[in-house]
Amino acid sequence: MKKSVSGLLVVGVALALLSIGPGQTPVRAQAKTATVALYADAVTLDPYDTNDNLSLSVERTVYDGLVGFTPDMKVKPQLATSWEASPDARVFTFHLRRGVKFHDGTAFSAEAVKINFDRVRDPGQKLRRYSLYEMIDSITVVDESTVRFTLRKPFGAMLYNFAHPAGRIISPAAIAKGGAFLARNPVGTGPFKFVSWAPGREIVLERNPEFWEAGQPRVDRIVFKFIPEDASRVAMLLSGEAQFAFPVTGVQADAVAKTPDVSLDARWSIYAYYVALHTQRGPFRNMAVRQALNYAIDKNAIVKVVLRGYGRALDAPMAPGVANYTQVQAGGWPYDVVKAKALLSEAGFPNGFPTVLWLGNATETQRLGEAIQQMLAQVGVKVELQPMEAGTLSAVRFKPIEDNLSQANLAGWSPSTGDADWALRPLLGGGTWPPTLFNLAFYKNAKVDELLADALGTADETRRAKDYAEASRIVWGEAPWIFLYNSQNLAGVRAGTTGVYALGDGTVDVREATLTGK
C-alpha cells in the first residue's frame, strides 16, 4: 500500500519536472536579448481581435500597420509611405512600400491589405475590432502598391483608426489558416518574428533579417515576461533579469530612480481621470452643483499625494497628448472652497448632500477615492465610497439608464486611436449612453453632438481641431465630470537599454530596442 502511494508521488513529480523541461534552450552567448517585464500575459496575437494593451504591445513588434504612432502618439508611415484623404473624409488612398516580405516569405501587396480589412469588416467573423473598420464600404486594389478605401459615410478620424494598433497587416497565407491559428501564430512584416508563447510565462521573438527599415532591428531576441505582481516586476529589473519593466507604480518610483544602473522613465500618457456625475438625476442635474464640485477638489494636492507628482491637473476634457486637443483653462478648474460653498447654497444645498461614488478596488484608486471624499466633505458633500472588483463594476456601469443606479463614477480613459473623436464621443456623445458605450455621466448636449458629427464629416484637420476645441469648451463649462488629472506612465529601464518605451496609450513599443554595454 505505502509503496503504491509513494510510486504515485514519484510519477507526479516526474511529470511535473517534464513540464518544466522544454523552452529553456540557452541563447548564444553573444546574442543580444532584450527582456521586457510586463504586468499581464497577452490574450491573443490576432490584432483585429485584440483590445488589451499587452497583446497590442506584442503585436506591434511582429506586425506593421499601414501607418503607426510615434512615441508621442503622432501618425507616422509604416507599410504605407504616403496617403491622401478626399475632402469629405470618405475616400482614403494609401501608397504602399515595395519589396516588403512577410515572415513566411510571401510578398506584401495591396491585395494583402484588402484581404486584411475585408476580414475585419465582415460581421460573420465576429472580431472584437469590427467597429473600428465597419464603416468601410469597399476596398479597391488600384495597382500592386496602391489601395483605396471608400467609406459608407464620412469619417474624419479614419487615419487614426488605421494607425490604431489593432489595424496591422497579417500575411494572407496565415489568414487562410483561420482565426484560431492567427490567435497563436502571428505572421507579419515587422522587425521581429514570432518564436514561441508559453502562456502565463513568456513570449519570445527573434530578429527579422529581412525587415524593410535599414539598420533595424538592433537586437537578436525580444523576450516578454509576464509578472503581474508590481513588487516582483521591479525586483526583476533591479536584479538585472529584465532590461525594461512596465509599469512601475508611484510608490516604487523613488526606489527605482535611486538604484544605480536603473533609471525611471516617466512619459506623459493620454489617460484622463475624472468623476462622471449622473447629469440626468438627483443633485447632479443642476449644473451649479457640478461646477461647485469642480471648485471643491484640489487637483494639485491629488497629483502630489496620490500620484507622487507624476501627473498634472486636466485643463480640457482630454489629455494634452491627444490629437486635436485644445487647452480650455490653464491649470484646470481653480481650487476655491468658498466659491464651491456659495454655488451649493445658490443651488439649494447649503448643507451639502450625501452621494455614492463607484470606483475600482486597486489600492491607488481607493486612495484617490479617499482624497476626493475628504475634499468634498469640506463643502458638506458626504461621499460614500463603493469600491468594486472590475467585472462587477463593469456590469453595474453598463446598465441602461432605467436600471443604472449610479450617482458618481471614478473613471479613467485613454482614446485608443489617439484622436479627440474617441476621447469625447464615447464618453460625452448623446448616442453613447450605457450600454452602448462609456458615457457614464449620461450627458447629452445637442451642440456638442453637432460639433462631434461635423468633425467626423471632414478630413480637414484644422476644421476638426476647431470643432473639438469648441466641444471641449462647452463640456468644460457644463461640467458633467469633476475634471481630475492626466497621469504619466512610469517605466524602469536598465542602463545601456534604449529604444524601449511606453506609449501614451499604455502600450509598449520595443521595435527599436538597442542594447549597449552589458
Partner 1 sequence: MSSYLVRRLWQMVPILFGVSLGAFAFLQAVPGDPARLLAGPDATLQDVQLVRARLGLDRPLILRYVYFLRNALVGDFGRSFRSGEAVAAIVARHFGPTLLLSVASVVFATVTGLGVGLLQAVRRNTAPDYVSTVVSVAGISTPPFFLGLLLIYLLAVGLRWFPTGGMGTARSLVLPALTLGAGVAATIARFARSSLLEVLGEEFVRTARAKGLEERSVLLKHALRNALIPVVTMIGLQFGFLLSGAIVVETVFSWPGLGWLMVQSISFRDYPVLVAEILLFSLQFLVINLVVDLLYAGLDPRVAYG
**The one among 228, 331, 477, 496 contacting partner 1 by CB under 8 A:** 228
Least distance from partner 1 to the Cβ atom of residue 200, Å: 3
Beta carbon nearer to partner 1, 88 or 202: 202
- In 3D space, the residue among 481, 390, 397, 409 whose CA is nearest the CA of residue 433 turns out to be 397
Query: 219 and 33 in contact (C-beta within 8 Å)?
Result: yes
Which region, judged by CB under 8 A, interacts with partner 1, from 19-27, 58-66, 265-273, 445-453? 19-27
Residues 94-113 that bind partner 1 (CB under 8 A): none
Enumerate the β-bridge partners of residue 225: 37, 202
Least distance from partner 1 to the Cβ atom of residue 230, Å: 10
Q: Which residues of 267-299 are buried (b: 16+ CB within 10 A; e: fewer)?
A: bbbbbbbbbbbbbeeebbebebbbbbbbbbbbb
Which region, judged by CB under 8 A, interacts with partner 1, from 121-129, 140-148, 313-321, 362-370? 121-129
Least distance from partner 1 to the Cβ atom of residue 380, Å: 32
Sorted by sequence, the CB contacts under 8 Å of residue 347 that are 6+ apart come out as 283, 286, 288, 289, 292
Beta carbon nearer to partner 1, 124 or 215: 124
Residues 147-186 that bind partner 1 (CB under 8 A): 179-180, 183-184
Give the residue carrying C-alpha cell 456590469: 395
Does the protein bind partner 1 through residue 496 (CB under 8 A)? no
Residues 384-403 that bind partner 1 (CB under 8 A): 389-392, 394-396, 398
Peptide bond into 26 cis (omega under 30): no
Least distance from partner 1 to the Cβ atom of residue 109, Å: 29
Q: Exposed, middle or buried: residue 478 (CB in 10 Å: 0-12, 13-18, 19+)?
A: middle
Does the protein bind partner 1 through residue 241 (CB under 8 A)? yes
Please report, for residues 341, 441, 448, the alpha-carbon distance to residue 286 in angstroms, rounded to integers and kept in the order given.
14, 13, 18
Number of residues that bind partner 1 (CB under 8 A): 66
Does the protein bind partner 1 through residue 1 (CB under 8 A)? yes
Does the protein bind partner 1 through residue 367 (CB under 8 A)? no
Does the protein bind partner 1 through residue 338 (CB under 8 A)? no
Beta carbon nearer to partner 1, 9 or 142: 9
* Per-residue x/- track, 418-437, partner 1 (CB under 8 A): ----x---x--------xxx
The DSSP secondary structure of 52-69, one letter per residue, reads SHHHHHHHHHH--BSEEE
Least distance from partner 1 to the Cβ atom of residue 239, Å: 5
Cα separation, 488 vs 506, in Å, equals: 10
Q: Which three cell numbers stand for residue 1?
A: 500500500
- In 3D space, the residue among 399, 286, 258 whose CA is nearest the CA of residue 346 turns out to be 286
Cα separation, 493 vs 502, in Å, equals: 11
Which region, judged by CB under 8 A, interacts with partner 1, from 40-48, 90-98, 458-466, 491-499? 40-48
Query: 74 and 260 in contact (C-beta within 8 Å)?
Result: no
Cα separation, 34 vs 510, in Å, equals: 9
Beta carbon nearer to partner 1, 103 or 129: 129
* H-run or E-run covering 273: strand 262-277
- In 3D space, the residue among 301, 390, 386, 289 whose CA is nearest the CA of residue 342 turns out to be 289
Does the protein bind partner 1 through residue 22 (CB under 8 A)? no
Does the protein bind partner 1 through residue 201 (CB under 8 A)? yes
Least distance from partner 1 to the Cβ atom of residue 468, Å: 18
Least distance from partner 1 to the Cβ atom of residue 15, Å: 7
Cα separation, 451 vs 187, in Å, equals: 41
Query: 267 and 310 in contact (C-beta within 8 Å)?
Result: no
**The one among 95, 114, 193, 225 contacting partner 1 by CB under 8 A:** 225
Least distance from partner 1 to the Cβ atom of residue 191, Å: 25
Least distance from partner 1 to the Cβ atom of residue 349, Å: 31
Beta carbon nearer to partner 1, 231 or 377: 231
Least distance from partner 1 to the Cβ atom of residue 48, Å: 11
Residues 50-89 that bind partner 1 (CB under 8 A): 51-52
**The one among 226, 295, 349, 485 contacting partner 1 by CB under 8 A:** 226
Q: Which residues of 306-323 are buried (b: 16+ CB within 10 A; e: fewer)?
A: bbeebbbbbbbbbbbbbb
Sorted by sequence, the CB contacts under 8 Å of residue 166 that are 6+ apart come out as 47, 48, 50, 51, 56, 129, 132, 416
**The one among 7, 12, 87, 477 contacting partner 1 by CB under 8 A:** 12
Least distance from partner 1 to the Cβ atom of residue 401, Å: 14
Least distance from partner 1 to the Cβ atom of residue 83, Å: 25
Q: CA-based angle 322:34:230, to the nearest 5?
A: 65
Give the footprint of partner 1 on this chain (CB under 8 A): 1-2, 5, 8-9, 12-13, 15-20, 24, 41, 43-44, 51-52, 123, 126-131, 134, 179-180, 183-184, 198-202, 225-229, 231-232, 235-236, 238-241, 389-392, 394-396, 398, 413, 415-416, 422, 426, 435-438
